[in-house]
Every structure is written in C-alpha cells, then in structure tokens.
A and B are shown apart, each in its own frame.
Chain A
C-alpha cells in the first residue's frame, strides 16, 4: 500500500473532524492577526530610530515578516501536530504502533495530521508579503517570482529537515519533553534579516542552524536582492539538509528500544 494513499485517507478524516470545530478557525485567525499586528508595531518601533535594519528598509523587512508568517503557518499546520508529537511517542512507546505499519515511518509520522485552520496563516503571510512588495513600488519579474517559488519551497523543506533532526534527538534524550520549544526559541531570530545581526550570530544562522535560508533568502528573491541563480543554491542546501536528516532518522530508529528499553 502506498504511503500516499494512506495519508490521503488520513487527511480526509482529518478535514471532516476539523470542520466540526469551526469556532477554532475564528480563534486561530484572531490570534494570528494579533501577533502580526504586534510584529508590525515592533518593526515600527525599530524604524522610529533607524532608517534601515541590516541594510533593509521598512517594507523590505515587512516582506520578510510575511514570509516568516507563512512559514510559521506551515509549521503549526503540519509539523507541530505531526512530527512534534514524536517526543511523547518515543517516551511512551506508542511509536511501536507506527513502526509496525507497512508504510515509511518518517513520512507517516511527519504528515499524518494537519491542523487545517493554520493554513490560513500561510495565506495571510503571503498576502502581507505581497502587499509590502506593492508598497515597495517594485514589480517582480517572472524570473524573480520563479526564484521566490524555488527559495520558498526550499525554505519549507529546510524547516522540515530541522524539525526531523531536532525530534530525532528524542531517541537519545528521552527526558526532554519540550524539544520543540528549542526550535521556537531559535526560530524567533528569523523574523529579521540575517544581516541585522552581529557577525558571529550571522555565521550561526547561515551555517550551523540554517534559519537564514528560510526567511532572508526568499524575501531577498522577492525584493530583487538575490540573483535568481542563487535560488539554485538554496535548493541545494535544502536537498542536502533533507538527505542528512534522512540518515539521522535511520540512525535514530536503530536506537529505538520501545518503552522501558
């Protein structure tokens, strides 16, 4: 049985389930709007005292903020309800049930559940980025848009890879229940262009915890700061990260001894 068919069936059940809780949609939407407003106010505060942040002007940083929100939408909609549950399942031994299924465990664990309403955050984020591009008075060329699509796709893949890598740690450190908080903490830094940070931090965000690739690079593509060819570089980084995390996942599974092991 192909993993795709299994997932499609799961998603159908998922959609039906979520449609029963439509009030949650409103709550989640209000929450997102509130936090976007706070983020815009934060930027307004910074830009009261400076004309540029790491060489970016106000609307350029808003484009980046839109990208950031779109990516958090993906994280909340797909990653947190799916692979985010892994830590608990490793500890309690529930992972047994998944491993015995005749489908690829990594794909199944990652994409089994969708928090439907949070996809609205993706739309909101992209809309914000689009609006900011209009305010910049810049019409992106088709090539820019293509580069944006490629870099954004790479960004999603990269964020996914970071989550798999982080959650795989649960196989070694069973006692750490809030591994995802570790991600949240560091990912906050991706709200601003990486050039706004001092040199040492910049190095960390580009090479060690590559979150710079997830927001700064797509936003650069949209604002024309990025040579379109560089999008291929981003795709390469994402592919490398996916391959590495696949290896890590395998190594982690070999360590799994179920509950009490």
Chain B
C-alpha cells in the first residue's frame, strides 16, 4: 500500500508539472468545456423568459448549468484519444516498457489535471456567486459530501469507459469514432443540453437504464438539490455502482 502511495504521489506530481508547462493550452480547453453549458444556459434563459419551463425557472437553469460545467470538468475522459494516438504512432511501445502499467499513469494524469482545472471552475463560480446571488448554493455539508462521492463514481465510470474504448485502438483505427458517437448521444441522455426532466419521457426512461445520466446529470442534481428523496439517492448511487462494475 505504502509503495503505491509513493508511486502515485510521484506520478501525480510529474503530471502536475507537465500541465503547468501547458497552462495556456489547458485554459483554452477549459474555455471550450465551459462554452457548451454557457450556450445552453443562454438559450434556456431566453426560453424561460415567459415563465418557468416545467417547473424550471431561470435561476434553476443557471444553477443546473453551472453544475454541469463543474461536473463535466471533473469527469472528463480524453484517454481514448491519447491511447488511439499512442497506438498509431508507436509511443505505446515505450509506455508499455515502463515498469509501471500505463493505466496508473493515466489515472495520475487525470487526478492532476482535474484538481487543477476544477479548482479554477470552482473559484470562478464563487466569484460569479458574489455578484450574482442566483447561482449561490445553500450551505449543506451533507449534500456536498454526497456530491463528492457521486462525482468520484462518475469520474471513475467515464474514465474506465474512455480507457476501454481507447484500448480498442489495438484492433481498429476508428476507436475515437465510437467516442464521438457517445459524445453526441450524451448531449441528450446525460443532460448536457437540458435537465433530463425536460426530455420526452420515453427518451428519459431509456437514458435511465444506460450509463449516461449517472456520469453527469445525477451528480449535478445532487449538488443543486434536484435529488430530494432517499429513493432517488438510492437509485442514483445504485445505477452508478452497477455501471462501474460493468
């Protein structure tokens, strides 16, 4: 155990320093991640100008999409693209030759990257909240703890999914196309465009059995207070654990 802690500390540290070199590029990627929820918020904001949409008022949309931006940043999984490139250009060879498996490096990269970017999103959120009371969240440590757990599970699901899809690159050259496909579908099913409650009920129920809502909309709603009953909590976490097992 101790050995692994030391190994991970070293890996995370080195990933952190590498990211530091690329901070401008990372800032641009972050902007890219934030614009999508921002645009969706802009559109819903104007739709909700005539009154609440199925119980979602302007303020609810604002809180929801701030949550989407944060959770998305925390659960991003880009490993499929890296693996795809490494397999194609041969960099995989020397990565496999290292004394520690590539998956550990990938996990460490994820930890370092997310710690850096998510903290920026959080700080921005807090600054915005100072000026714009709408996006302030009620103080609820219990809920935040559950949120942290939900995000950790979501990140794990997305990471394993991305990593496994990336490994397909050993057999096919179109592994990233599969990720694109998921990315497109997740626009709707994971709640990136709209809270799931606003989807047609049939679509939302299909989403319920897939992994999409558990990686984004569930953690967001835990944070913003959309998840209220114990039953919903149990369902959400159960869904997460099942998909993690897959």
Which residues does A use to contact B, with CB under 8 Å? 27, 31, 34-35, 38, 41-42, 45-46, 48-50, 53-54, 173, 175-179, 181-182, 184-186, 188-189, 191-192, 196-198, 201
Give chain B residues whose Cβ lies under 8 Å from the Cβ of A35.
Answer: 184
Shortest distance from the beta carbon of B238 to any chain A beta carbon, whole Å: 27
A45-B199, A50-B47, A198-B45 given; 8 more Cβ-contact pairs under 8 Å: A34-B184, A42-B187, A42-B193, A49-B54, A54-B46, A182-B32, A192-B39, A192-B43
Inter-chain CA distance A42–B44, complex, in Å, is 12
Asked whether any CB of chain A lies closer than 8 Å to the CB of B29, the reply is yes
Secondary structure at the B interface, as helix, strand, loop or mixed, is helix
Shortest distance from the beta carbon of A201 to any chain B beta carbon, whole Å: 6
Give chain B residues whose Cβ lies under 8 Å from the Cβ of A185.
Answer: 28, 31-32, 35
Contact of B22 among A49, A175, A192 (CB under 8 A): A175
Contact of B180 among A31, A48, A50, A189 (CB under 8 A): A31
Secondary structure at the A interface, as helix, strand, loop or mixed, is helix
Shortest distance from the beta carbon of B189 to any chain A beta carbon, whole Å: 11
Please tell me if the beta carbons of B25 and A189 are within 8 angstroms of each other in the complex: no
A198-B46 in contact given A45-B188, A175-B25, A177-B25 (Cβ < 8 Å) = yes
Residue of A nearest to B198 (CB): A49
Type the 1/0 row for B14-54, where 1 means its CB is closer than 8 Å to any CB of A: 00000001101100110110011001001101110010011
Asked whether any CB of chain A lies closer than 8 Å to the CB of B200, the reply is yes
Please provide the 3 A-B residue pairs with the shortest distance between their CB atoms, ordered closest to farther.
Answer: A185-B32, A50-B47, A185-B35
Contact of A49 among B39, B53, B180, B187 (CB under 8 A): B53
Shortest distance from the beta carbon of A25 to any chain B beta carbon, whole Å: 15
